[in-house]
Structure 1
Amino acid sequence: MRVHVVDHPLVAHKLTILRDKNTPSMIFRQLTEELVMLLGYEATRGVAVEPREIETPVSRMTGTQLKRPRPLIVPILRAGLGMLEGMVKMAPSAEVGFLGMARNEETLDIVTYAERLPNDLTGRHVIVLDPMLATGGTLVEAIRFLYERGAERVTCVCLLAAPEGIERLEKGIEGLEVDLYLAAIDERLNEKSYIVPGLGDAGDRLYGLAE
């Protein structure tokens, strides 16, 4: 697994406002979209392309276009939905799928409760969106699920990560090719598995439930 922390003044500035508990939901959503666009720019740096012959007003030339099959953007429900708009703005020709995963409180296993994806992901570059990499359990299962469907490559975009989550992810997907793009790696998880200093519950803050 390759971990990329996007070191950019704009990313740091927007993330600071995002973390502030006094930032209202409307601004939180806007900043999330802007941050995802900045992270998505870096995360799509290695996307597959192919040449395309075009004619400009002056002459013919060989340009570049995204190679088919186009990338597939997959937000993890529900908080990942808040990242979708920013990623789609960066890659408007990409397709979008959805994946819902939750922890079974009795068995502690991660179960898939919803999915809307192509049956065959052969040859697909899948970009997974999930704002917080905390314990890492959900992202591990999501990546395994996508590779079992035949995905060729998986890139994950998260706003924040805890060291514990990164460690679990590395162990849980050993042997699979994954790139992880982050705005920051925080200190640790607390006893409730929240990232510290973090930004709270991303889903609640995106949808106004934390106010």
Structure 2
Amino acid sequence: MKVINFSESNSLYNNFLAQLRDLKVQQDRMRFRRNLERLGEINAYELSKVLDYKSEDIYSPLGVAPSNLVAEHPVIATILRAGLPLHQGFLNYFDSADNCFISAYRKHTTADEFEVEVEYMSSPSLEGKTVVLTDPMLASGMSMVLAYKALLRKGKPKHVHVSCVIASAEGVEYVKRNLPENTTIWVGAIDDEMTAQSYIVPGLGDAGDLAFGSKED
């Protein structure tokens, strides 16, 4: 399974990610959402390089321009709610893509223990499709694996691209163990630590709350 870590090379991705982590910048909720969207756009552009292409003649007013075009846009799947701005970034570039939305949440049994439950999914058929599964934070990896298993109800994808902004090293290893080999992980940074409550350190905090406001459990 291939892991592509944007922090291992120099690009504007690192600037926007640094702003997402910054306590002062995080006070601007709209800017936080926009930076997530920007990272989705950058990821979409880089991911587009590994898709299948087809040759097509485009007719301009003055002639014919042979063009190499994406053969089929991927299905963009997102774990609600934190993934919505990242999802929008992908959709800005894959503007004719079909979409899938998955509701997953932490059901706490104690203060430090929880189970992840998938409650709802809206999706087209995924049989033989390329799927981009987005969630800003890949902590324990449980939500991502359960989301993938939920996707299988709609068919077996030919390839899955997992897109995260920040992951824990433990979460990446969990996904590598539990998702098939035809999976690519795209991540902005991999942090080494994770708390007992499965929050990534240094991470950036709760992406959903920072994007959309705090919630009651």
TM-score normalised according to structure 1 size: 0.89
Counterparts of 1:78-97 in structure 2, within 5 Å, are 78-97=81-100
Q: Distance in 2 between matches of 1:204 and 1:197?
A: 17
Q: 8 Å contact 1:134–1:189 — kept in the other structure?
A: yes
1:190 to 164, 185, 195: 195
Q: Distance in 1 between matches of 2:158 and 2:150?
A: 12
The answer to whether residue 62 in structure 2 is matched with residue 58 in structure 1 is yes
The answer to whether residue 133 in structure 2 is matched with residue 128 in structure 1 is yes
Counterparts of 1:78-117 in structure 2, within 5 Å, are 78-106=81-109, 109-117=115-123
Please state how far the C-alpha of 1:58 moved relative to its aligned partner.
3.3
Q: Rate the CA distance shift 1:22–1:94 in 2: closer, same or farther, 3 A.
A: same
The answer to whether residue 50 in structure 2 is matched with residue 39 in structure 1 is no
Q: Kindly tell me the number of residue pairs found equivalent between the two proteins.
A: 207
Deviations 1:118-138 (A, max 9, x none): 2x3112111111000000001
Q: Match for 1:39: what amino acid?
A: N
Question: Which residue in 2 is equivalent to 1:74?
Answer: 77
Question: Which residue in 1 is equivalent to 2:11?
Answer: 9
Please state how far the C-alpha of 1:192 moved relative to its aligned partner.
2.0
Counterparts of 1:142-181 in structure 2, within 5 Å, are 142-148=147-153, 149-173=155-179, 175-181=180-186
Please state how far the C-alpha of 1:32 moved relative to its aligned partner.
1.1
Q: Distance in 2 between matches of 1:56 and 1:159?
A: 39
Please state how far the C-alpha of 1:108 moved relative to its aligned partner.
5.0
User: Which blocks of at least 5 consecutive residues in structure 1 are unaligned?
Assistant: none
Q: Distance in 1 between matches of 2:210 and 2:103?
A: 19
Q: Distance in 2 between matches of 1:147 and 1:49?
A: 25
Q: 8 Å contact 2:34–2:85 — kept in the other structure?
A: no
Deviations 1:1-44 (A, max 9, x none): 21101223311111111101222212111111112111221122
Runs of 4+ in 1 over 4 A off after TM superposition: 106-109
Q: 8 Å contact 1:39–1:183 — kept in the other structure?
A: no
Give me the identity figure in percent. Answer: 31
User: Which blocks of at least 5 consecutive residues in structure 2 are unaligned?
Assistant: none
Q: Distance in 2 between matches of 1:206 and 1:96?
A: 21
Q: Distance in 2 between matches of 1:192 and 1:103?
A: 11
